[in-house]
Structure 1
Amino acid sequence: MLATLHKLCSLMKRIAQLTFEYDIAKPLAIGERESWRRGWVSCLTPISLHDCQPVYSYSRNVLNMAAAMKAQKTGLLELRVTVDRWIRVLATLTEETLTVSPGEVAEEPVKPNPTPAGDINGDPANLSSFPVPETITNVKRTVRVTKQDVGGLGISIKGGKENKMPILISKIFKGLAADQTEALYVGDAILSVNGSDLREATHDDAVQALKKTGKEVILEVKYIKEMSAFFKNTLPGAPLPWDSPHAMPQKGADAPPAELKEVRTIPLKMCQVTRKQCPPDTENRYFEVISSSRKRSVFLRAKDPAMAQSWYNAIQAGASALVPRVRDELRAMQAGLEVKHMGWITEQATQGPERPVLALLTERDLLLYPTLPDSKDGINSPAKSHPLITTRLVHSGPGKSSPLLDSELSFGLRTGTKQGVETHLFRVDSAKELSAWTHMVVDGCHNAAELIQEVTTACSWNGKECNLGVHIDEGFSLFTEEMGIRKTVLLQQPFERLRMSSDDGVHMIFLDFGGPEAEIQLDLHSCPKTMVFIIHSFLSAKVKRLGLLA
């Protein structure tokens, strides 16, 4: 097996070296055309320069196979180009990108199509163009095609009895069923479909015959060289003389649909994939993909909910596979940055529009960015930063008083700040994401408490200026200090002695340890909520140590 692979690699290198020395479009002599299977076997034998030209006929298949292996998913979807207008596109998902290209239906539509022939799919980049062997001209051939779930046969047809022309294949779309046979060509006349004669069929009869076939389709075809040349020489957008009258634009008809003239590519790296639309998607067929920079996006529609979910899952999986790379890139820009979890979430508001944010959960903070940061300055300038030690999860799923839509997939955080308590609501797209964020935030708060260990702040006790220290293991202490060094300990109490705590929301905090001291009152000179939340985080982390939290 290793020797075989070595020979194959050597062959590919030889082919690359000869790219500019041999005319790969030159027709092969009789008997030289082989199927891919036979070509593969022949490629395993040593070759000479004299052998290169025949071998080169297989190079296109080799390159196509490499491209197909790289593509993770391909199929026809619809792209929204205006509020109420959609166009058919060919979507291709690779390991790093989602690409949508101009596309159309697999066969001519039965309903009138006001778009001129070739106007949408005139771009050769989306059409198959196998070199046609001279030996098949005017020879009947039988080709078996296995239909795909999306795209049907993957061909367009022209002609018909009413145009005094046979039913002809005018386009073959890359990656779809007909293209994968490598045995059908533009210019092939379709003589029969599953034994049903189409020699005298009208255009509409042929369309119906092709649509009614099952998964396996047997086509009897004959290649007409003159027709192939005519298709290739016709200007994009120009109507062919044998187009069905139903496919031609009529006077007074609606304006032609918008076109996708350029390929759109969305990098998967930290892209956002969402199925939550406004207004809600009642058909459950929509999804949107937005680049990490928020500068590029595609709004797509599948034929049914299952297909939409399949594409959503595949794109999400591709984006997730690139997250380790993103973490490495962020760490390279900001030494020591450890991202525990990251992803797109939607920040909700009781008033005003919701907004998507890229959330980075580090060892100490929850950082929110409008886009993926691409520099050290960008990393150090988040739109918002929530210290985990002063943050706690208050609900996951429907909130008791949340009037917002999609509350089933939301979670709420409360943060103690110098201005008081802030409440933040976030929405995700799936139950899996909700579970991940819920657990990661809770664990992050506990880990931050274990990492920080102690927090101190200035205060006044019984009219004396001192400092309050709260330590996860040693508990509470009141002390004075000089030159940054603790001088006198005024009070020391472990967490276990704390019976109750409260505050006035302005600047006072009350700690009840029982015993002779009873309740002590501390003036923190600012809103006490930050310290209240820190005490809660330390207590929760200590409970977690005991294994009392799931």
Structure 2
Amino acid sequence: MSVTKSHHNLDVVHHGIVLISDENSTSRSSRLLLSKDELCIQVNDDGTAEPEEAKDILMENATRQVVIVKKPDSGFGLSIKGGSENAQNMPIVISKIFKGLPADECGELFIGDAIVEVNGISIEGQSHDEVVNMLKSSGDQVTLGVRHFTHMTPFLKPAQSLQPDSTLDQLFDGRSTRSNKAQSESRFSDSKWQQHIDGREKKWKTLTSLPLAMAYVTRYLWGTDNIRSNSFEVRAVDGRSSGIVHCEDTSALEQWIAHISKHILSLNHKSIKMSNKYLHQSEQISYIGWVNEYLNDDDQEELKIRWQPRFLILKGSDVCFFDVPPLNSEDLNKCVYLYKCYDVAVKQVPNTSPRRDKRDNCFLIETPIQIPNHYLSFESPSGFELFEQAYYRTVYNTVSQMQSRTFACNFEERPSGIVFDIKQGISLYDIPTKSYIWQYRFRDLQAVADDGKLCVQLSFTDDRSLNSDKIEVKDIECEDVVTVVFNLHSFVLAKIVSTDPDYLKSNRYVGNAED
């Protein structure tokens, strides 16, 4: 059941009763409350939860000794974050546990566990690199002293975000009331919600609230191309998960996804506006959002997943890939991949064409270095459309500011420079004579072909040509042939947009992966 209703005191825009399950398929009836900036999960307040919090404190203070034994040709299978850096003493926290590897198979380690000892040696005051070296030098077996903290999420923002380890375990934990006291004090719990069922009054308590800014909603099973039936999952920027939310029918599912996605987009737009106040005009952000990337075979073998969420940002002239959203200006410089928008090509993979698996809304970001070429997928067609239009607008703004680019080349065995100029078009500069030997408008360009290595062929319409078809073909040799071709496409696009501002509205797909 899902209902759209206004509750002015809580600013709820949508609410409903759902089933929420964890990765072990354990399900529990819950209520979702959606506001403009949070998704709140509530459970029935039956009064059975233990009132004291003493056991939580004891559990957090207790040190567990966990022995991990390496497999041949593998590591321990975990990643850590934290440490003493720049006068900040952060706990060393387990941020990733890789499926199928020793840390996962031992069954005694969890995302959020803090490591306090390595082989009986305290790591208090140690830096991240020092602890990594201790683990590496441990040989094939290591004994970790770990403690469980229920409030470690703030330390995991750079690492746990969007990993397939749901923090919703607390939904099925008798201690959930105590461990979520902080969340229960949120604005959603200012007054308890009540519902009359079978003549009885049913009370709800807030279990957790997920911020929607830069959150991620998906219908896919984690890391796969298998779509869930009438269910979805929301992952917050800090890595917390809603669990798998099961709706009663397709209509309710579509309503929830539409409402949540709408507010995520609205909050992301506000984040962009706030960030741009502190960024130079040439570094303005035009797009932020989640996309999934198809992993290569090596990644699949280790992680046993095929798709990895990436946070994509268009900033100034840059296309930036992040594992997790950057939360400050320093994080903006820590992207996984960085490309200039005019040095890459965006090509849609039509749903009717062969794809790598069953995921829809796929596209390629091709790079001059060939590897990596990024095979990506959005959750919906509208997601791709938003990114595509932002990308083409970014290319137009960047090329308009840049005006021209020149690439060294050889033409008819003479050292030359191929020049792309937003005003003058395409021309060839002969270095020995220091003069331009031919020039064409962008509109004269009929075809571009290249061998991906050294040669590019440009075909122009030329009324002065002696050829019967009035086509002049120019063969050029250059070292960065793919970069040259991608830049040419960017200049052509910018020129089209400059002469026809409505082009982006009427021609969504400039590139096609079948071309």
TM-score normalised by L of structure 2: 0.57
Q: Say which of 358, 365, 370 aligns to 2:311.
A: 358
Instruction: Confirm or deny that 1:374 pairs with 2:327.
Output: yes
Instruction: Confirm or deny that 1:430 pairs with 2:380.
Output: yes
Structure 2: how far apart are the matches of 1:71 and 1:477?
A: 60
Q: How does 1:303-318 map to 2 (within 5 A)?
A: 303-318=248-263
The answer to whether the 8 Å contact 1:420/1:529 transfers is: no
Cα deviation digits, residues 442-466 of structure 1 (max 9, x gap): 4444444334321112233445444
Distance 1:100 1:342, change over 3 A: same
Instruction: Confirm or deny that 1:522 pairs with 2:476.
Output: yes
The answer to whether the 8 Å contact 1:421/1:529 transfers is: no
Between the two structures, name the one with larger relative contact order (CA 8 Å, sep ≥ 6). Answer: 2
Structure 1: how far apart are the matches of 2:228 and 2:237?
A: 27
The answer to whether the 8 Å contact 1:414/1:422 transfers is: no
Cα deviation digits, residues 156-182 of structure 1 (max 9, x gap): xxxxxxxxxxxxxxxxx932334xxxx
Match of 2:271 in 1: 326
Q: Unpaired runs of 5+ in structure 1?
A: 1-64, 105-116, 124-172, 179-209, 212-216, 222-259
Match of 2:452 in 1: 505
Deviation at 1:84, TM superposition (A): 1.8
Task: Please give the secondary structure, in 1, of the residue aligned with 2:494.
Answer: helix
- Greater Rg over alpha carbons, structure: 1
Structure 2: how far apart are the matches of 1:268 and 1:506?
A: 45
Instruction: Confirm or deny that 1:400 pairs with 2:341.
Output: no
- Matching residue's letter, 1:507: L
Q: Unpaired runs of 5+ in structure 2?
A: 1-5, 53-190, 301-305, 507-515
Structure 2: how far apart are the matches of 1:309 and 1:500?
A: 44
Distance 1:365 1:412, change over 3 A: same
The percent of aligned pairs where both chains have the same amino acid is 16
Distance 1:501 1:324, change over 3 A: closer
Deviation at 1:478, TM superposition (A): 3.5
Match of 2:243 in 1: 298
Structure 1: how far apart are the matches of 2:263 and 2:279?
A: 25
Cα deviation digits, residues 41-75 of structure 1 (max 9, x gap): xxxxxxxxxxxxxxxxxxxxxxxx99734333444
Instruction: Confirm or deny that 1:72 pairs with 2:5.
Output: no
Structure 2: how far apart are the matches of 1:512 and 1:430?
A: 37
Deviation at 1:282, TM superposition (A): 5.3
Deviation at 1:264, TM superposition (A): 2.2
Match of 1:272 in 2: 216
Structure 2: how far apart are the matches of 1:373 and 1:480?
A: 46
Match of 2:139 in 1: none
Deviation at 1:405, TM superposition (A): 1.1
Distance 1:434 1:397, change over 3 A: farther
Cα deviation digits, residues 302-347 of structure 1 (max 9, x gap): 3333333333222223222322331134325543332223221212
Task: Please give the secondary structure, in 1, of the residue aligned with 2:273.
Answer: helix
Structure 2: how far apart are the matches of 1:464 and 1:119?
A: 85
Structure 1: how far apart are the matches of 2:400 and 2:246?
A: 47
Match of 1:456 in 2: 406
Q: Say which of 215, 229, 234 aligns to 1:289.
A: 234
Q: How does 1:85-100 map to 2 (within 5 A)?
A: 85-100=26-41
Structure 1: how far apart are the matches of 2:453 and 2:333?
A: 31
Task: Please give the secondary structure, in 2, of the residue aligned with 1:322.
Answer: helix
The answer to whether the 8 Å contact 2:40/2:206 transfers is: no
Match of 2:434 in 1: 488
TM-score normalised by L of structure 1: 0.53
Q: Say which of 48, 62, 66 aligns to 1:119.
A: 48
What is the total number of aligned residue pairs between the two structures? 341
Distance 1:532 1:99, change over 3 A: same
Distance 1:71 1:546, change over 3 A: closer
Q: Say which of 281, 284, 287 aligns to 1:338.
A: 284
Structure 2: how far apart are the matches of 1:463 and 1:373?
A: 48
Deviation at 1:475, TM superposition (A): 2.2
Distance 1:390 1:309, change over 3 A: same
Match of 1:168 in 2: none
Cα deviation digits, residues 138-163 of structure 1 (max 9, x gap): xxxxxxxxxxxxxxxxxxxxxxxxxx
Deviation at 1:288, TM superposition (A): 0.8
- Matching residue's letter, 1:273: V
Structure 2: how far apart are the matches of 1:287 and 1:378?
A: 29
